[in-house]
Chains A and B, each alone.
Chain A
Amino acid sequence: MTAHEIEEYLSPMRHEFADPRSLILPALKFAQGDSGWLPAEDMAAVAEATGFSQAYVESVATFYDRLYVEPVGRRVINVCVTLSCMLRGSDEIFDHLADYLGLDGEGTTEDGMFTLAKVQCIGACDRAPCLQIDSGEQIGPLEPADATCLVDDLREQPAPARYER
């Protein structure tokens, strides 16, 4: 991802933001679409395109959980662990998934297919316990077995053209 590409992406929306700092977030999300995470070069490109320092761009990127500054898998499975989901058995869902993926808690599978993460409320308490694949629809309520079926389905799917985290 080059600074030029990011600038082109930003130019139609520049007028929407009174404070130019606000451009950093859409720029980072856009840059992340390429490889699914933000290598240092991509953050440097965002810095160049937005006119802020690299350090400042990185501080924004690290503030948000869904901007990844470390490599993640092809799909990120976000398991909600906040109150409603927790009371309805999110721990079992998470542990079952970790087991199934061969992970010791949160992390990325060796084949680079999946990253399993615990997240705070994703706004679907009525469907607890629920999870979210990348930035897709919340899926729930789930039984542990549903979760592993979901993983099998995802494994069959090709890698997305652009990553929407």
Chain B
Amino acid sequence: MAEHDDGLIVLTINGREVRAPKGTMLVDAAKAAGIEIPIFCYEPRLGAPIGACRMCLVEVEGMRGLQTACSTPVAPDMVVNTESEVAKDAQDGVLELLLANHPLDCPVCDKGGECPLQDRTFRFGPGRTRSLEPKLHFPKPLDLSPLVALDRERCIACFRCVRFSQEVAEDGQLTFQERGDHTEIATFSGDPYEGRFTGNTIDLCPVGALTSNPYRFVSRPWDIKNTPSVCAGCSMGCNLEITEREGDVKRLTGRPEPNMAVEEGWICDRGRWGYPALRSADRLQAPVLADAVGRRNVPLERAVTEASGLLAARGARVGILLGDAVTVETGFLACELAARVGGGTPAMVARTGIPGHGLGPMRALPGAQMDDIDGADVVLVVGGDPCTQQPVAELRIRGARRAGAQVAVIGPRPTALDASCEALRTTPGHLLDAAAVINERLQGSERAVVLWDEADLAAEPAAAEAIARVVAATPGARAIEMCADVSGPGLRALGIPAAGDLLTALEAGAIDILLTIGADPTAGPAGDRWAAAADRAGTIIEMATHRTGLTDRATLVLPMLAPLEDEGVLVSMTGRAQRLRPGAREAAGAAAAWEMIVGITHRIGSPVPDRTPAQAFRRLAEQHAAFAGLDYRVIGSEGAAVAPVPQDPGVPARGPVGDGLLVVPCAPVFGDAVAHRSDALEAVREPSRVALAPAEAERLGVRTDARVRVTTPEGTVVLPLEIDSRLHEGAVYLVMGDPASGAARLLPGDRGPVHAAVSAAAREEVGA
């Protein structure tokens, strides 16, 4: 009777029959049946329940005393009462005690209005206190870090933030100090809480104890509108929520209903606090037209008309370059535009990013989603560094290790996972040697997940082929590509090639008009070549969010919306199409790239039929097999998988170019353009630098406090030097932080292997 054929356990909660799978905690069983049991500390994403806050006390018939519903599993024929007098009394009592030292400064608290403590006190609480004792007071607030503020008197000691630090981020930094009513969240000897995920403690805090410094006193919950969207900071595609007030993005948070298949509700600090870049000083405010009259601001309508005039010119040879984080709709419409320009001369369309010739075998492997990592028995990270490049992936990998998976990190770079997982350091440029180790680690596995780095394996096609063979031969093994570019997977699915041919055509003088959309090729690989090549095009039309190296040379500058303001679809590195929803009002002088392209086609006299990104998406889904069967409704709030696209056959691999040491490129997201534009991230952003093994530095005669000249065939840059004993000799680790430093420009356009000569910088260069 009590255990049904379907394996569900039957119990009674508040007189209602409830069914739940074995192992379900009472609180979840009740929730599924529409009965709310109040909680504070319970959060399954933080591991096993700890019953710290006592808020969920319920009466269970036959059990002595009250039980914590968060840590009591369902049992057959259990009779639970959450509304009996005893249970109500307990709820009253717990809340009264939790509030005994809580300052009730809700009117000036950032959490007020969206605070679980407030909500539950109203719903379950006693309404009045019997306590006449003075409350404890602490000076407030304390900066736990430059980004997270701690108000100690509001804390109810639920342990959520401490568990996140100890058991999810595993940074071991947050603990409780002292005891009883003096318990407070603290770090070792008051050091700042450092990490890539600190902001998640704010989302987790059920009271106003941990709040965001950049959001402090910025708005009240009734003044804001929250919009679910997707982070365009890296290819992880974390789901997040945009808080808007009066048209501006004021805050980003993890989704209250996390996407368990992607980010599990965790977002990194770069994603969370990148939004101030939207209003940085170099944001483009108004369209610019340069013609015989001079260089001046013009209305957007006029700028779009001018653009269509230029692009429609008969015989004009147009090149369209798509950038970092453009949506698939923008990519699709750019292709539509390409067929309509030049009076019948089709334009070249290309994307910045990695060509990926030779990655075919890796991309043909069965794909996995992020939540497949949870149940994996072996997790291998091959190349790259997810901890700095796709940070939230690190949390999944740590979770898999805790769940018992064998985790190995294989590649030339030291990573944050090295301390707790097997770290197999390969000689730079020799990932091929790792194939044997990978084979060994995969032996006997049934549910292996291999995360591989697009950039590293694209530079070593022979390794890609060998590793793909090993993984393909392992039953149950699946792969996740750690993509270098946010828009890469989506634009590849549309068949848009990398920009190598476009660059060659520009250099050959075969392009008259260069249209860039969200791209700054002058700041990326082969930047100097791009700058020179762009000059050969008579006309540059730029659609961009911020100033770029092309802005001052462009005939037309069209300010475009950033991903947080735009609508459309991005495809994540696991091939998941996810929707961006606009979280801010359109800036006055700017428009979405897709909308401007539509406008241009209308003015050319050959309009595309789309009026919204949704319509454009429906059409692109009809034309491109990868998106077949998808539309905005199917994608919904959870996203939907894009079908893998067959790869074009690779071109022969080339050897390294240039003289000196092999370059190991490192591209931390905390060093990207957004991190450098966002004032909130000032304390945690990564600068550009060169890192060398101590022996290598000695051989080259360079010291830590020195700056060094780094020269590749693409140019020379002077950068600070860091000496790190974890690095390999015979290689130069190039950390590409601040885009203004020019470090990324040293890489070749095809992202293939490159050597760099390193020497001490002359005195006059150090000053510069």
Contacts and interface: CB of A to CB of B under 8 A. Distances in A.
Interface string B169-190: 0001111111100000011110
A55 B174 contact: yes
Contacts of B172: 52-56
A4 to B, nearest CB: 21
Contact of B189 (A40, A53, A63): A40
Contacts of B166: 56
Interface string A28-44: 00000000000010011
Contact of B187 (A43, A55, A57): A55
A58 interface: yes
Nearest to A53: B172
Given A53-B172, A55-B172, A56-B172, A62 B189 contact: no
A11 interface: no
Contacts of A52: 172
Nearest to B171: A53
Interface in B172-218: 172-179, 186-189
Given A40-B189, A54-B188, A58-B186, A63 B178 contact: yes
Nearest to B177: A62
Please indicate which of the listed interface residues A44, A52, A63 has the most CB atoms of chain B within 10 Å of its own CB: A63
Contact of A53 (B173, B176, B178, B186): B173
Contacts of B186: 55, 58-59
A40 B178 CA distance: 16
Nearest to A63: B179
A154 to B, nearest CB: 29
B188 A58 contact: yes
A58 B179 CA distance: 12
What's the dominant secondary structure at chain A's contact region?
helix
B173 to A, nearest CB: 5
Contact of B175 (A40, A44, A56): A56
Interface string A92-107: 0000000000000000
Contacts of B173: 53, 55
Interface in B45-90: none
A118 B166 CA distance: 34
Interface in A10-66: 40, 43-44, 52-59, 62-63
A27 to B, nearest CB: 16
B189 A58 contact: yes
A55 B172 CA distance: 7
Contacts of B187: 55
Please indicate which of the listed interface residues B172, B179, B188 has the most CB atoms of chain A within 10 Å of its own CB: B188
A53 B166 CA distance: 9
A139 to B, nearest CB: 27
A129 to B, nearest CB: 24
Please indicate which of the listed interface residues A44, A53, A55 has the most CB atoms of chain B within 10 Å of its own CB: A55
B144 to A, nearest CB: 12
A43 B177 CA distance: 14
Nearest to B189: A40
A52 B186 CA distance: 16
A59 B189 contact: no
B357 to A, nearest CB: 46
B170 to A, nearest CB: 10
Contact of B177 (A44, A53, A59): A59
A64 to B, nearest CB: 8
B175 to A, nearest CB: 4
A115 to B, nearest CB: 18
Contacts of A40: 188-189
A40 to B, nearest CB: 4
A111 B189 CA distance: 26
Contacts of A58: 175, 177, 186, 188-189
Nearest to B174: A55
Contacts of B177: 58-59, 62-63
A62 B173 CA distance: 15
A55 B188 CA distance: 4
B557 to A, nearest CB: 50
Contacts of A59: 175-177, 186
Contacts of B189: 40, 43, 54, 58
A113 B381 CA distance: 58
A43 B188 CA distance: 9
A82 to B, nearest CB: 15
Nearest to A56: B175
B179 A53 contact: no
Contacts of B175: 53, 55-56, 58-59
The 10 A-B residue pairs with the shortest CB-CB distance in the complex, in nearest-first order: A53-B172, A59-B175, A54-B188, A62-B177, A55-B188, A40-B189, A55-B175, A63-B179, A62-B178, A58-B188
27 contacts: A40-B188, A40-B189, A43-B188, A43-B189, A44-B188, A52-B172, A53-B172, A53-B175, A53-B188, A54-B188, A54-B189, A55-B172, A55-B186, A55-B188, A56-B166, A56-B172, A57-B188, A58-B177, A58-B186, A58-B188, A59-B175, A59-B177, A62-B177, A62-B178, A62-B179, A63-B177, A63-B179
